[in-house]
Every structure is written in structure tokens, then in C-alpha cells.
Amino acid sequence: MSDQLILLWQLFWSFFFIGIFTFGGGYAIMSLIQSEIVIARGWISEATFTDIAAISQMTPGPIGLNCSTYTGYAVLRDAGASVAVSTLGSAAASLAIVLPSFIIMLLIVRFYARAHEGPVFQRVLSALKPAVAGLIGAAALGMIIRVRWTAGVPDFSLLEDNFSSWKSWVLFALATAASLRFKGATVKILLAGALAGLIGFA
């Protein structure tokens, strides 16, 4: 039980750290969660994280918060914790991910009206926007390929758990094309993908 409490504390601080450096919303946060929880900590597998990302996208609410809630539960569950302790993991991760932005917004909201049109503020935003785009792209690629570094040389391999057959690639291509063609139809694309999965992978 003491090991699980230590893990719970580590989980809280990991998500608090992620929350401090999250810029750009839910999709950008996925890359940070993947980097910290999956790669650096090794608490859950890439396949589990992909499942979490898919469920987080399909359920109501912000995807970053949904992902944090589910990841917190999965980390404690995989460590052998009970349902009650795993639920505490969900609560800890959820609280930790929103706490930094809540504190920061309380501190800066009174200064925003005066600073948001200033040149320094605009330069910071100009630098953050491409960085956010890079984080979103990295999160997407991280669900397709695995990168291992050996002596400074990258080794790329396909995440076979996420693309187990040619059907997976067809669904990926169709969903990508539909997202580009029908902007704002995310819910319909998700429902179509779920139906195709039930039929094609039954």
C-alpha cells in the first residue's frame, strides 16, 4: 500500500509538471503526457495510451482532462491497486493537470487587459504557436511509430498494436481524408469509425 501511495504522489507531481508546461490546449497536452507517462516513466504502454487517447476523444469534455483522468486510473490499476485507489489516481491526475493553469490565470487575469496588445506578449504568442503545432504533430506520430535512439541514431518501428492489419491503415486514411474534407464533422467521423471498427474487426 505504501508503494501505491508513493506512486499516487509521483503521479500527482508528474501531471502537475505537465500542467505547468501545457500550451495550446488538449491536443498539445497529449504529447507531454505520452512523453512523461509512457516514455520517461514507463507506467503504461504505447498501446494503452492510444486506447486512452481514442476514448478521451470520444467521450464528452476536454480531451486533455479526459486523458489525464483515464491515465491516472490506468497507472494505478496496472500497479495492482484496488478500484478505490485507482479512482484516487484519476482524481489526483485530474486535479494536478488543471491546478497550474487555475493558479496562473488567477495571477495574470488582472494584467491581461493591459498586456495582451503589447509587443512582448505578441512575440511570445508568435513563438508559442508553431511550438504547439509541433507538439500536436508529435503526439499524432507517436501513436503511429516508435522511435528508439541508439548511440544518437534513431530507429523507427511501427506500433503494430495500433495498426494491426491493412484495415487499420484504410480507416486511418479515410478518417484523415474526411477530417480534411469535412471540417467540423469530428463527431460524425468518430461515430463512423466506431461503427466501422465493430463491423470490420468483429
In this structure, are residues 56 and 137 in contact, taking their beta carbons and an 8 Å threshold? no
C-alpha cell at 30: 497529449
Distance between CA atoms of 99 and 12, rounded to whole angstroms? 10
191 has a pLDDT exceeding 80: yes
Give the pLDDT mean for 103-125: 75
Segment 7-27 mean pLDDT: 85
Residue type, 120: V
Average pLDDT, rounded, for the chain: 83
Write out pLDDT tens, residues 166-187: 888 888 888 888 888 887 778 8
Is the pLDDT confidence value at 76 over 80?
A: yes
In the prediction, which pLDDT does 91 show? 95
Per the CB < 8 A criterion, the answer to whether 142 and 32 are in contact is no
Helices (H) and strands (E) in the chain, counts: 8, 2
> Which residues share a beta bridge with 157?
146
Asked whether the beta carbons of 63 and 34 are under 8 A apart, the reply is: no
pLDDT at residue number 25: 66
Give strand pairing partners of 170.
none
16: confidence class by pLDDT, cuts 50, 70, 90: very high
- Report whether 11 contacts 38 (CB < 8 A): no
pTM given for the model = 0.62
Q: What is the DSSP string of 84-132?
A: HHHHHHHHHHHHHHHHHHHHHHHHHHHHHHHHTTSHHHHHHHHHHHHHH
Angle at 56 between CA 50 and CA 129, to 5 degrees: 85
Quick one: pLDDT at residue 105?
81
What is the band of 93 on the pLDDT scale with cuts at 50, 70, 90? very high
Q: How far apart are CA 113 and CA 172, in angstroms?
A: 43
pLDDT-based confidence at residue 24 (cuts at 50, 70, 90): low
Instruction: Give the pLDDT score at 11.
Output: 93
